[in-house]
Amino acid sequence: MTEHDDIAEIRKLAGLATPMALRVAVTLGLPDRLRGDGATTEQVATESGVSPVALGLLLGHLATLGVVEHTPTGYRTTGYGTALCTDAGNGLTNFLHLDMAGGRAELAFTELLHSVTTGDGGYARRYGQDFWADLAGNPGLRASFDQQMTDRFRTQIPGIVAGYDWDRFPAIVDVGGGHGTLLAAILAAHPRLRGHLLDVDPTATEALRTFTTHDVGDRAQVTAGSFFDPLPAGADAYLLCDILHDWDDEHAHRILARCVEAVPRSGRVLVIEPVGGRHADTEFDLAMLVIFGGRERRVDEFRALAAAHGLVLDAVTDLTGQRCLLEFRRTG
């Protein structure tokens, strides 16, 4: 490869035109609108209230990418481009749509320099409040975030359920368990086990529906609340799945402290997350930093974090190609 090729490759990697074109296309609903016979640029511009000239430029680039194709009567979505439609069920709409939690959060990357300089998240610098406050004040964002978490875990759940001996614990509290899809799957696979999910409303209310849908409602309890407040006490295990990496060390300590308050001496604290240097993706690691001020911690970092609360790391289990389970026990 020549130096010229290297420069061209780096320009391609650094370019913002394509990532933003895809995001704007999804936000405007173009993949859905242009399915089937498609439409002319003028028709779509009039319907969407956008500039027809500018829309033509966007559609031209989307055609170069293979997302749409030019026809004698305008543009239409290609088979490849249907992956960006709202009914594709792959989570891409949430990840790209600028008015949904995933797409909105991704724009915090414009503050990456601030995050690298200070170690703080960039989300609050861009939007005036942190990610969680933004969700709390906007029900639509909260709903799209909950759906994003459900979509992201769909392919992971079978490996998580099969990769660990959940039957060891008669009762599990899923701390910050979202819509309850993971806990419902664990309960369905282990009929003797009982579960208790804690999350804020309206997420907690949706979890009740999930348990009913999966026919485990008679063994599942839901509490609406924050994991910064006292947790339901006395369960055999407290599960934190994709929770700690969303927070800096100060907040992670607060969450672990609540778990230790609630877990009995013979119980366990279970952490499921990507682990730095093991399964964590470096791009996702930066996302944790810039959105939340968090990170994908390494095993030694988890060990040190937990030790401050009298927890000892007993085992690390690879559950999937993306996530590990770290099992902690109390020392006293």
pLDDT for 294 beyond 80: yes
Per CATH, the architecture of 99-151 is what? Orthogonal Bundle (1.10)
For residue 242, the 8-state DSSP code is S
Range 141-154 average pLDDT: 87
Structure tokens at 96: 């790209």
Domain boundaries, the chain: 3-84, 99-151, 155-330
The reported pLDDT for the residue numbered 165 is 95
What CATH class has 3-84? mainly alpha
* Beta strands at 74-77 and 194-199: parallel, antiparallel or unpaired: unpaired
Per CATH, the architecture of 155-330 is what? 3-Layer(aba) Sandwich (3.40)
The reported pLDDT for the residue numbered 321 is 86
The reported pLDDT for the residue numbered 1 is 67
Q: Where are the beta strands (DSSP E) in 96-247?
A: 171-175, 194-199, 220-224, 237-241
Between CA 156 and CA 151 the distance in angstroms is: 10
Q: Is 287 helix (H, G, I), strand (E, B) or coil?
A: helix
Secondary structure (DSSP) of 46-58: HHHT--HHHHHHH
Q: pLDDT for 105-119, tens place per residue?
A: 999 999 999 999 999
pLDDT for 279 beyond 80: no
Q: pLDDT for 81-139, tens place per residue?
A: 999 999 998 889 999 999 999 999 999 999 999 999 999 999 999 999 999 999 999 99
Could you give the residue numbers annotated as active site? Answer: 245
